[in-house]
Structure formats: C-alpha cells, structure tokens
A and B are shown apart, each in its own frame.
Chain A
C-alpha cells in the first residue's frame, strides 16, 4: 500500500511531546486546571471510536460515555471481557503507602523511571504515579475484590524486588478482576446507550480526513462485511505486539494490525525494540506448540536454577537416557549463583533470561528441544519440607504438572524465557495523542510510560491510568477544535480505504498457495526470536532484515487460505495479522539495529560491560551487564513508515531528565 505522505505535526528529527510547564510534581495538576473543557450539552454531539476493550480501552470507553460522549467500542473477541489484560496475574502498583513503609508518589515515579532504564518521559511517569492512587479507589468502589487483611483493610505485597509493599493484588487473578470491573462499567454504559459495542469486529484500517484520524474500516468477523465507521477522533487501545515472536505469553489473537495500520497511515512507531522477556515460562515442547505459559517469578525465591556442566550430559538428559537425579552435585552448574553471587537465583529478569539462553546456546539445555534449564526445588524441599513448599507454590506446581505431566515435587521443573510484554508502541505525546492528529493511543499499544523495561505490576496501572483518568482529561484538548460530526462515512477517504481493504483481502484469498498461515507465522517468529530476541547483534539483525523480505515474498506468493471472505474465516483473519507482523518485524529490527546500546528490554551483545571496563574492575557492576549509552541514545526513536522493505525514517524525541540522575544499575 502506498504511503499517503500526509503526516501532520512534526518535522523529521524532532517531536513535540506537549509536556505542560511547571515543576514535575505540578505538571498534571496544572494541566487539569488549565485544560480545555467541553460543555456537557455538547459532549453528546461527539462520537469517539475506541478500538480494543481491555483495561485501557474498556475503561476509556466507559468513562468517556459517563462523561456524555457517544462511544463506539470494537473488539475482535466475542465479548469485551475476554481482552488479554485478563491474564495478568501479579498485581497493580499504587503509591497509597497503606503499609506505612515510606512509599510516596515520588518513589513510585522514581522506581518506574529507573526500572525503565531512563528511557521514558519524566512527566508521563510522574502523572502515572500520581493517578495510581485514584485507580485503586475507583476499582474498589466498583467491587474489585482485592486481597484484604483480617481487619478488612487492603493488603499489599512487595513485587518485583521493590523496596516497599505497594502492590495490590487479587489472588493470582488481578488482571482478571480489574478487567471485569472495567467490563462491568462498560456494559453499564452500553445499556444506557452511551456505548455501542462491536464485538467480533476487527479494525483493518485507519481513515484520515484532512490529516486527522476520523474513522476506521472494520471487518465483521462473523459475516465478513467490511464497514466504515466515522467519528470525531479515534482511540487505539489494542495491546502489544508480542506475537511477532509467534510464541509468547500473549493470547492467540493478540496482534499488531490496528497499530500497524495506523503506522502505515503516518503514526510513528516508537521504541519497538523494547520487548520484555520473562525468565520463568514452561519450555516449548514441540513444533505444534501454540502458546507459552508463564509461571510466577516467585518460584525463584526457593528454586535453584541449574544446567549440567557438561553438554554431553545435557544431551543424554534430552534424549531421556539420564534424568536430573543422575547428575551429581559437582556436575551441576548453578550458573546464576555462580555469576551473581549476591543475587543468585533472584537476578533480574533480563539477566536471568539471557543467562538461560547462553547456557542453552552452549548445548547444555535440558528440555527435549534443547531450550530449557532446571528449576530445582529439591534443596528447598529438604530444608523446609514438602508441606511448606506446597503451601507456598502448590497451585503453580499443580499448573506445571497439568501442562507437562511432570511432578515438580519429584523431578525438577524446566523453565525457559518467553516474550511477555512489549514496552514499545505508537508514539504519543503527553496527551496520549500520536503525531497523527485525532489518533490517541492507550495502554500497551503506546510507548509512553515504561521506557525500556516495565516493572512488575505496572502494566495494569498504566492501562487503567490511561483509560480512567488521562484520556478523559486530555481528549477535550483535541476535540474542542473539532466540529462534531463534521466527517461522515460519505467522505471519499472512507470509500478509498474500504476499497484498499477489500483489495487486500481478495489478494490474500486469490493466492491459493501451498503453505498455511501458521507456518509463516512460525517461521517469522523463530527468526525474530533468534535474531531480535533476548540478545541482539548487528550481524543478526542485518540478517533478519535480509530474511524478512524473503518471508514476505513467500507469504504473498504461497499462502493458502481456504474459504471465502463471507462469513467466519479464521485463516483469513490470521493471514491479515501475520502479513502485518511481517511488515512490523522490519520496523522492530531497524529499531534494534539503530539502538547501539543495551538498556532494559533491549540487549545488544556489542554493548555490555567487559572486564576491561572500569566499572567492572572497581567492582561496581558485572561483566556482561547491559551498557547504556546515555550521551547518544537518551531519546525516543519514533519511526515513520515508508515502504515495505524500505528503511523507515527515524524521528527522535530527546528525553530530558531534570529531576532524576541517570544511574547505572549494579547487581553486585
């Protein structure tokens, strides 16, 4: 598809983040005090499209409808309650300081910005920390059953190595309970007539009129009908792109299509190389595998991670000739304890993930596929007794046994890292508006708050902050200058976009090749996992950039999609998504190639501390630690789409740190 060249707003090389003036702690208050408002009688004249119904989309749609706007909300699932926010287990952070342990908005802000390896905007992150307290109030009032103490007050726990207990949780189902809260609020507004819900409907294109996002083209996944929807602005809350790796902890349907369509229409894609890998997933068991399952990181509190010292032994374990028990203590390599003696098995996610990869790359992996290491509880069971371990991890052990058929009380678990969350996304300013006017992006789909890495229990916080509190306050800033209802589906841009969408579908169906959609997705995923996964090199990325066009060519020549475009056709749905994943993978690799540093969820092997570095010699940090290059790369890389196969254009938003001092982490 041709690039329409009608981006508005920024010049190449600079991006305007519209951060309000004033001291950091006052910016959001100042913004709210001076923000433009829309008269209540006028609000109902505005129509807002919200794509996605997860924590961000669902809460935004409900809240905007409460305010009086007319909302159209879309999701590809059969109900808004199914969005993948539901799968978040751990919890949600908020600077409530209910535990009296010294937490504050500032600390949450600082921990988040430091956790993001100093690659996020101070003002955005501070706002996130500020509204975090309102989120908890809102959710409790909605009936979200957070864990409580016997006195009836809310319980908190410390999560992801935080020094304070600020994480609110609802057993292992925090995401589910928060989503149900937002979903119920959304349904309430649907019944009142403020929201029109379109389930089983997928956005296939963004429509711009006079440079502003004014509508979308959708496909009804039941009938195949292509429809135009016009509105006064468009909000995307369509989640992350983790499924570009094929295997991830994301839901099967999670895809980048809506965001990528917007990207093709001129919205910049920011920092896609920041992808979070979770170290404790159940390893892949075979080619047919469709999905990876996450197990709580808390397992690392008592489990010891190891692999055989000898690759030959590992090979025998893989082939079933030996078991873990046959490996003598002195032949085991507890590599995290060895390399990071003070942190041991609790080393940070990225370090722990990368170390597992290194071990497996050396041929010492123990799972059937060679990709897996042991997480061994035998010492803990010997020390604490099986009952204590059962009390702590019983449900996780049960889940593991259900999936693998192995009993972790008897044989060590096997784990391997998997893609879990993606920090990058569409570029947005302080108002969550992308460089395309009228297009707002919320939640995981935008790039804004997590920088290069996301702290545990922060994703839920960001999604809800964006939806309940930020967008309702910032949206009028755009809408106030728009004449409500000025653009209708009669605008020629809609017919044009519809024609393009239909053409693409017909093209896909007409190929009638010999390979299934999944086989392409698998091929792409493996490549990206290999070359742009846990550890990246210039060489690997360049190779990936060479291979992606080949996959694309193969796809458009040989994909086989049975059936027609009328009615339900899941292969056609997947094909559209995979086609966009292929194109998106190029942006991802370009970004990873461009960012010649290691930070957060992006690790370039060329940029790590070596024994020659002073910081290592002085004992401040370790060999192999990520090496950030603040002088050159303290910016947001926002990419402008050009053509498939062509290098996208880089726009930089310089990150200014006025309130925090950039520091290097040390896990000594």
Chain B
C-alpha cells in the first residue's frame, strides 16, 4: 500500500520543529507500524538524510518505550495496544497518517518523536515503592492477601509507564499513572504502613514535575494500552484527601 506520512521532525530539544511530509510507498500490509517506519527510514538513509527517530524497544507491547501519536491518538485509536502492536492492515491504501511525539511540558522532546519521560522515574523515586531491605522479608505466605485485593492491585500494576495517558490528556495530567501506582501499592497489606506518605509524596512530585490536573474526561483510560481504569484516579483522590487530612490533624 502507499501512504502519505506527516511526521513531526525536530533535530534536538531546542529546535522549533515542524511537520514534514514523506511518501511511504509499497508498504506490505503485514508490516507493523514501526516496521513501516523502518522501511521509510531505510529509504531516507539511502537518500543520505537523517532518519526519523522514534523510541521503541521490545516491539511486543510490554516495555513501554514506544511513544508516538498516530492521527492525534497515542498508540493509535485501537484499544489496548501500544504503537508497536499497530499493524498496517488497519490502514487503507492512500491514507494520510499524522505522526507526532507525545506532547506535554513534562515530557520534553529529545529528537523527532522521542521524548524524555524521566519525570515518571522521579515520581516513582519520590514514593512509588514499598521500602523493604533485601533479605529482611518475611515468608511470602506470611501475609495472605485476598484475591479481590490482589487482583485489583494487579490491574493497576499492569501499567507500563509509557506516558500515553499524559499524551492523550488535554491537560497533560499524570493522574492515571500516579493513580495506578498508588492503587497498586496502597491496596496491598505490605504497602499499608507507608500508604499516606506514599500518596502525598507521589502527588507532590507529580505536581512539581509540571503535569496538569485531571478534569475527568477519561481520555487517559481510553488510550491506556493496558486498559487501566480511571477508577484509580478516584481512588487516588480519596487516598490523598484522607492522607492530607491525617497529616493535618492526626497524631
């Protein structure tokens, strides 16, 4: 199939960047979206130009590294998949495809379609963990965890940290990411002792990183490749309010 690509090109972080047009000719239907970009890049390189840079690694939808938007939607409109799992048979011959980087102030562009998502790492560093020194853990079956809580925790733990939630949100809010991490750990008995501190620390670091606020539009859950529900945001709101109240008045 033949396609027209409108691709965001930006040489480096401080470059202004612009949309460039590329013809993608003779693309096999069986190719994946990123393989289509590989093919286009191969031709760009042979023409002596700089190929389109994009982040990618595992190409099986789990590492969370691929990060671009396809026609304005992170990881494409198809539900529950990452960019690397998009296949060209979903497009039609002659289509024009707009490919842009994730856009958020907290995710500065590195080059072309690559963005810097280290803000997520700093959020986790601020509180997204259970503090357990290696070797000090009790027996794994010492604390039974009801299946319901275990499953609910798991649903949140499925987050791959790709940042699509931020990219889809018109406010570039990281609430789904933070809510997922808070819900993953706060739900478990192991995470309980640090629950309040964790919740406060996660939210404060999120705010400090310059993410926007949730306005309850749920675009994040619609594009989440792991289909994490925006319920985790409600849960985070509740946990945060309780933690803030306890911080203010409790002993």
Q: With A143-B130, A153-B144, A190-B125 known to touch, is A562 a contact of B49 (CB < 8 Å)? A: yes
The answer to the question of B197 belonging to the interface, with a C-beta cut-off of 8 Å to chain A, is no
Chain B residues within an 8 Å CB radius of A147: 150
Chain A residues within an 8 Å CB radius of B29: 405
Separation of A538 and B64 alpha carbons in the complex (Å): 42
Is the pair A79, B135 in contact by a Cβ cutoff of 8 Å? Answer: no
Q: How far is the CB of A458 from chain B (nearest CB, A)?
A: 18
- Of A146, A222, A252, the residue contacting B59 (CB under 8 A) is A252
Q: Which residue of B lies closest to A184 (CB)?
A: B129
Is the pair A82, B63 in contact by a Cβ cutoff of 8 Å? Answer: yes
Instruction: Tell me if B's interface is mostly helix, strand, loop or mixed.
Output: loop
Is the pair B63, A145 in contact by a Cβ cutoff of 8 Å? Answer: no
Separation of A293 and B32 alpha carbons in the complex (Å): 12
Is the pair B50, A469 in contact by a Cβ cutoff of 8 Å? Answer: no
Chain B residues within an 8 Å CB radius of A40: none
- Of A98, A146, A472, A570, the residue contacting B134 (CB under 8 A) is A472
Is the pair B60, A96 in contact by a Cβ cutoff of 8 Å? Answer: no
The bracket for how many chain B residues form the interface is: 35 or more
Is the pair A251, B141 in contact by a Cβ cutoff of 8 Å? Answer: no
Chain A residues within an 8 Å CB radius of B153: 143, 145
Query: Which of A130-138, A299-307, A349-357, A595-603 forms contacts with chain B?
Result: A130-138
Is the pair B110, A79 in contact by a Cβ cutoff of 8 Å? Answer: no
The bracket for how many chain A residues form the interface is: 35 or more
Is the pair A78, B46 in contact by a Cβ cutoff of 8 Å? Answer: no
The answer to the question of A63 belonging to the interface, with a C-beta cut-off of 8 Å to chain B, is yes
Is the pair B126, A191 in contact by a Cβ cutoff of 8 Å? Answer: yes
The answer to the question of B243 belonging to the interface, with a C-beta cut-off of 8 Å to chain A, is no
Mind listing 22 A-B residue pairs with CB under 8 Å? Answer: A66-B133, A77-B57, A81-B121, A81-B161, A86-B58, A87-B58, A134-B137, A138-B137, A141-B136, A143-B130, A143-B184, A145-B157, A148-B144, A152-B150, A176-B158, A176-B160, A190-B121, A191-B126, A253-B57, A289-B31, A405-B30, A562-B51
Q: How far is the CB of A48 from chain B (nearest CB, A)?
A: 15
Which residues from 49 to 85 on chain B have a C-beta closer than 8 Å to any C-beta of chain A? 49-51, 53, 55-60, 62-65, 81, 85
Chain B residues within an 8 Å CB radius of A472: 134
Q: Which of A148, A149, A404, A468 has the most CB of B within 10 A?
A: A148
Q: Which residue of B lies closest to A81 (CB)?
A: B161
Q: Which residue of A lies closest to B85 (CB)?
A: A402
Q: With A149-B147, A154-B141 known to touch, is A180 a contact of B45 (CB < 8 Å)? A: no
- Of A145, A150, A187, A249, the residue contacting B121 (CB under 8 A) is A187
User: CB within 8 Å of B: which residues of A?
Assistant: 59, 62-63, 66, 77-84, 86-87, 96, 98, 134, 136-143, 145-154, 170-171, 173, 176-177, 180, 183-185, 187-188, 190-191, 197, 199, 222, 249, 251-253, 285-286, 288-291, 293-294, 402-405, 468-469, 472, 514, 516, 518-519, 560, 562-563, 567-568, 570-571
Is the pair B57, A82 in contact by a Cβ cutoff of 8 Å? Answer: yes
Separation of A44 and B57 alpha carbons in the complex (Å): 35
Q: With A79-B121, A145-B154 known to touch, is A188 a contact of B134 (CB < 8 Å)? A: no
Is the pair B42, A516 in contact by a Cβ cutoff of 8 Å? Answer: yes
Q: Which of A87, A145, A562 has the most CB of B within 10 A?
A: A145
Is the pair A79, B120 in contact by a Cβ cutoff of 8 Å? Answer: yes
Separation of A197 and B136 alpha carbons in the complex (Å): 25
Separation of A173 and B11 alpha carbons in the complex (Å): 36
Is the pair B132, A142 in contact by a Cβ cutoff of 8 Å? Answer: yes
Chain B residues within an 8 Å CB radius of A518: 38, 42
Is the pair A568, B28 in contact by a Cβ cutoff of 8 Å? Answer: no
